[in-house]
């Protein structure tokens, strides 16, 4: 039986506008892709941290994540540092989960133009 380890999974997505409908769709798409690509059941999630760039204020990204059954998972939102020239309208995710794959095999997910943030990790 393989051992189960605590792993961190990164992800990011980019919105075309600060709009709650788009925020919900983008966050749901990202969270589901992170779970699917890593074979993670929601029960394996320990916690999820969401950050957004300062130009996204329409809603909390965690509120959208609750719509996919993460109501009992500890979720937290924070704001990214306003670095001049940084990519705008970005939601980042750092999920902690118990999974049975080595760290090198964790699939980090970057969608909707956020792939440019970490081309070394984006798949």
Q: List the catalytic residues.
A: 10, 66, 77, 80, 92, 110, 118
3-state secondary structure of 33: helix
Q: What gap in Å lies between CA 83 and CA 37, rounded to an integer?
A: 30
The alpha helices in 1-123, defined as continuous H runs, are 20-37, 61-65
- Tell me the pairing of strands 5-14 and 45-52: unpaired
Alpha-carbon separation of residue 54 from 60, 109, 111 (angstroms):
12, 21, 19
Task: Give the start-end residues of each E strand in the chain.
Answer: 5-14, 45-52, 75-79, 90-99, 109-110
């Amino acid at each position: 039986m393989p051992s189960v380890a605590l792993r961190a999974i990164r992800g990011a997505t980019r919105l075309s506008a600060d709009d709650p409908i788009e925020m919900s769709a983008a966050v749901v798409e990202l969270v589901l892709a992170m779970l699917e690509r890593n074979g993670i059941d929601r029960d394996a999630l320990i916690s999820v941290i969401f950050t957004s760039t300062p130009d996204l204020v329409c809603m909390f990204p965690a509120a959208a994540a609750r719509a996919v059954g993460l109501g009992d998972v500890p979720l937290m939102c924070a704001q990214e540092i306003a670095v001049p020239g940084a990519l705008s309208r970005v939601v980042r995710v750092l999920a902690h989960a118990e999974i049975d794959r080595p760290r090198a095999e964790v699939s980090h997910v970057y969608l909707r133009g956020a792939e440019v943030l970490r081309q070394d990790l984006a798949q």
